[in-house]
Chain A
Amino acid sequence: MSINKYDFNEKSILKFDPNEHEIAIETKNLQVYYGNNHALFDGNLQFERYKITSLIGASGSGKSTYLRSLNRMNDNVAKVDGQIMYRGLDVNTSKINVYEMRKHIGMVFQRPNPFSKSIRENITFALKEQGLKNKQKLNEIVEQSLRDAAIWDEVKDDLDKSAWSLSGGQQQRLCIARTIAMKPDILLLDEPASALDPISTSKIEETLVELKKRYTIIIVTHNMQQASRISDYTAFFHLGHILEYDKTKHIFTVPKVTATNDYISGNFG
């Protein structure tokens, strides 16, 4: 199977009517360069608040690059041009305090990466560093975020055990709990289930669907079933170009762009 040459001008990008949809974050003309390699072209996407948006596409299509640019995790790795509008503010400027910004836009990574600390400290560590000292308050946040990440019942008796004693799926939910303990607005997830077994994966998916009541979720996934199961909107990336963005059910039933159609029907990638 070979990758067809697609016309990058053939694209269909959904635009929201700001009167009907609340936009949580939006990128305008985002360009990402790794050295001389132009890895992402003209990223123009809007993300609706309290919805799950999937970013799909083959490996190397730029979806992770795009996601990591949103909370400036690419700062020292790549050059990112363009605007990232969050609450009326362009966060892609040098004036922005990235540390403060990342508390609003949290991230969960592909491989579970809990700290080598106890389960409790994984949650409280960053909060304490911010100056939250009240024990009772901390305990409340630990319980609440572990409940939100649907892992409380499994770990409530072992809070002082090492996070590394958990299974991979539990570790990943702990990482989600750690991120939402910071009370972010937006949750970015970079293939959070790709290293997990199907049961852990479905637990993560259930968790995300529950979390979208209070968080805007943007998730990169290789798994098209996952995208169609949990997300409201889907964006299709191909070789650094965003070719189609629409409601998930449209993308997977009546895609408008040839490349999207080929990808979801398994003709490449």
Chain B
Amino acid sequence: MGTKLQNNIAIAVIRILAALVVLILVFLLGKILISGIPHISWHFLTAASQSFESGGGIGVQLFNSIYLLALTLIISFPISLGAGIFLSEYAPKNFLTAIVRMAIEVLSSLPSVVVGLFGFLLFVVQMKMGFSILSGAIALTFFNLPLLTRNIEESLRAIPDLQREAGMSLGLSKWKTVTKVILPEALPGIITGVVLGAGRVFGEAAALIYTAGQSATNIDFGDWNPFNSASPLNLFRPAETLAVHIWKINSEGVMPDAAAVSAGSSAVLIIAVLIFNLLARVLGNSLYHKLTATK
């Protein structure tokens, strides 16, 4: 077989495989969006859900999902940032570091339902936090932490050592070099990681069923004092998220329009993740340009 023919066959196979991936994605997204978008309305996005009648919305669940995501990121980002910086810049190459790395890898392959059950036993039962947003956020932190740490570590590592030497040779301490030179350059990679993590967290159901709970208590959007039990910001109220809602409707929903609510919720979930993606990219890019003076 001629070299040229071989090459052409290889390229054709690769193209077909790539097309397959794109096709599956387009099909999936298309199916969800086409069947879901017709059900999305302002009423659907804001109204409370109904258990037995049709016409329920997803207002509370949507808010819960976003609030839970924000809480999870607030808890997990600083921890991951610290751990990532340590692993990439300071960790000595020894047995202990290798164990930490392996632990992170194991943690990242933990099934989310296991994380959920662990969170249930530890936070909900043992620490008596009940089914609550906080329990859910901590469980999701366990879920998010390994990936985010890994991502931050790799993003920092990708910056050439020449930049570190430049900082050091000017008499900057290692800490200053890392935080003021290396970190800004690594920002696009870190933001991509945060967004990917956020998408996973936003769509996560299994880890939340036993921690944040499956009930959407009515909340009063006029009361923003986090210490009031009806406040949207209250950390100790149970909070069914969008993903959990979808799961619940499909497994035990008895409302007449269950299929429609499920389809609409799925579309909203996907659209929300897309919006995060875009927002994070726009924000990240403008921050990166500002920090690095590139246009």
Contact = CB atoms under 8 A, between A and B. Distances in A.
Given A113-B162, A116-B184, A102 B168 contact: yes
A115 B169 contact: no
Contacts of B172: 99, 126, 129
A130 B171 CA distance: 9
A119 to B, nearest CB: 8
Given A115-B181, A121-B293, A106 B170 contact: yes
Given A129-B180, A162-B292, A115 B171 contact: no
A160 B169 contact: no
Contacts of B173: 99
A161 B160 CA distance: 21
Interface string B151-191: 00000000010110111111111001000110011000000
A129 B293 CA distance: 18
A109 B169 CA distance: 9
B177 to A, nearest CB: 10
Looking at chain B's contact residues, is the secondary structure mostly helix, strand, loop, or mixed?
helix
A129 B169 contact: no
B169 A71 contact: yes
Interface string B19-52: 0000000000000000000000000000000000
Q: How large is the interface on B (under 10, 10 to 19, 20 to 34, 35 or more residues)?
A: 20 to 34
A18 to B, nearest CB: 28
Interface string A206-241: 000000000000000000000000000000000000
A41 interface: no
A178 interface: yes
A36 B193 CA distance: 40
Contact of B165 (A100, A109, A125, A163): A109
Question: Which of A129, A162, A179 neighbours the largest number of chain B CB atoms within 10 Å of its CB?
Answer: A129
Interface in A86-123: 99-103, 106-107, 109, 111, 113-118, 121
Contacts of B293: 116-118, 121, 160-163
Nearest to A178: B170
B295 interface: yes
A102 B170 contact: yes
B94 interface: no
B7 interface: no
A182 interface: yes
Contacts of B160: 113
Contacts of A109: 162, 165-166, 169
A179 B170 CA distance: 7
A163 B166 CA distance: 14
B3 interface: no
Interface in A127-181: 129-130, 160-164, 175, 178-179
B294 interface: yes
Nearest to B289: A162
Nearest to B170: A126
A172 to B, nearest CB: 12
A90 B15 CA distance: 64
- From A73, A99, A126, A130, name the one whose CB has the most chain B CB atoms within 10 angstroms: A126
Contacts of A103: 170-171
B294 A162 contact: yes
8 contacts: A101-B171, A109-B166, A116-B163, A116-B185, A125-B181, A162-B295, A178-B170, A179-B170
Interface of A: 71, 73, 99-103, 106-107, 109, 111, 113-118, 121, 125-126, 129-130, 160-164, 175, 178-179, 182
Q: Which 8 pairs from chain A and chain B are nearest by CB? A: A118-B293, A113-B162, A116-B292, A126-B170, A103-B171, A107-B169, A102-B171, A162-B294
Interface of B: 160, 162-163, 165-173, 176, 180-181, 184-185, 291-295
Given A73-B169, A162-B295, 17 more contacts: A102-B170, A107-B165, A109-B162, A113-B162, A115-B163, A116-B163, A116-B185, A116-B293, A117-B292, A121-B293, A125-B181, A126-B172, A130-B171, A162-B292, A162-B294, A163-B293, A164-B294
